[in-house]
Every structure is written in structure tokens, then in C-alpha cells.
Amino acid sequence: MNAANRASASPPPRPSPPRLVAALVPLGTFLLTAVAVVAVLRSAVPHPAALALSAWGGRPGAAQPLPDGASVRAGASLYLELEPDGPCPLWLVAVDAAGRVQRIHPIVAAPESHGPLDIQVQASPEPGPQRFFAVCAPDDGLDYARVLAAAGAVAREGATGLRTARALAGLPEGTRQASILVEAM
């Protein structure tokens, strides 16, 4: 080959990218966009408000947290701490192994609560399980008769029902609940 032929020869054509790769680039972009949209939408979904209930036992100033199912002296003073995540109509009831249902909060009037509540209560004077139920009603409220009926159903189940029940059945959708069990000895 002489110099003239080399000068007139064009460089060999570049290989084009495979068609599959060219088709996957837009698909990958679409998938990344879809994942980002789903992540944003999931973070925007409101989470239901929480209701926390904890029990403390011991002398004032030296009280210790009690786990669910803790043994306590019959008739002992206990301290319950309720933390509704925002204002709500709040009821607190106790159910013991003898089938008694005791309304603890509110004592009178409307049960609207706007922050943490610390309430001193007495453990059942008789040995056996006692469960405290905190009930935070949906926006339209909940009357005590329904709470009492639901607590009465648990009371009729006896000691076994108290130990297994975590919430009161038959309350309106959206009702938030928490409970804690103590065993009076």
C-alpha cells in the first residue's frame, strides 16, 4: 500500500453499542424514578398516633419500672404513666381477677387529655392478675358505657383472660389502646 492509498483510507467504523444496552438505559432511569416516588409517598403516609402506658412500683422518689406481668404486693401503691401522642379522649380502667372493673380516669367530666398523665393507683387487694387498660378514643369520642362493656367482657374471662388480653375488643376503629398486667401477691 502506498502513501496515497493510506491517506485516502478512512478509519475503520466504530462498533455501535449493543442494542440491548441502549434499550436498558431508559428502563433503568424509569425504575429509579419509580423507586424514588414510592419512597416519598411512603414517608408522607401519616402514622397512627401512639399511646404508651407504663407502671412503676416502690416508694415515691425510688419507684422502679414494672414490666408487663410483674409481681406486686396486694394493695400496693403503683404509679401509672400515660403518654398519649397528642390530645385525645382518654379512659383508664382496671380489671382484676375477681371480675371487678374500676374506672380510674377520668374521675368526672369529659376525658380529654393533652399530655402525659401520672396517676397513683392501688394494686388489687386480693391475689391474682390485674390489668390496666388505657383507651384513647377516635376523634368522635367514645362513651364510658362502651369501655365498661368491653372491660366487662375481659373480666368475665377470669384470670386467664386478663393475662392474655392486650386490648379491649369491640371498640370503634381508630381507638388506640395500651395495657399493662400486674400480678398481686
Average pLDDT, the chain: 80
Listed in sequence order, the residues at least 6 apart from 103 whose beta carbon sits closer than 8 Å to its beta carbon are 91, 92, 93, 144, 148
Q: What is the pLDDT of residue 40?
A: 52
Q: Which of the pair, 43 or 160, is modelled with greater confidence?
A: 160
Phi-psi region of 174 (alpha: psi -120 to 50; beta: other; left: phi over 0): left
Residue 72 identity (one-letter amino acid): V
Looking at mean pLDDT, say which of 3-7, 39-43, 61-65, 114-118 comes out highest: 61-65
Q: Which of the pair, 123 or 84, is modelled with greater confidence?
A: 123
Provide the grid cell at 38.
414510592
Q: How far apart (Å, rounded) are the C-alpha atoms in residues 107 and 109?
A: 7
Of 143, 149, 142, 144, nearest to 168 (Cα)? Answer: 149
Instruction: Sketch out the chain's domains with CATH numbers.
Output: 3-44 (no CATH), 51-184 (2.60.40)
Q: Which of the pair, 5 or 61, is modelled with greater confidence?
A: 61
DSSP line for 17-31: PPHHHHHHHHHHHHH
Asked whether 104 and 119 are in contact (CB, 8 A), the reply is yes
Q: Mean pLDDT, to the nearest integer, of 165-177?
A: 92
Asked whether 179 and 80 are in contact (CB, 8 A), the reply is no
Q: What is the pLDDT of residue 156?
A: 96
* 12-30: pLDDT as tens digits: 666 555 666 666 666 667 6
The alpha carbon of 44 is separated from its chain's Cα centroid by a whole number of angstroms, namely 18
Of 156, 96, 93, nearest to 128 (Cα)? Answer: 96
The alpha carbon of 77 is separated from its chain's Cα centroid by a whole number of angstroms, namely 27
pLDDT band at 75 (very low <50, low <70, confident <90, very high): very high
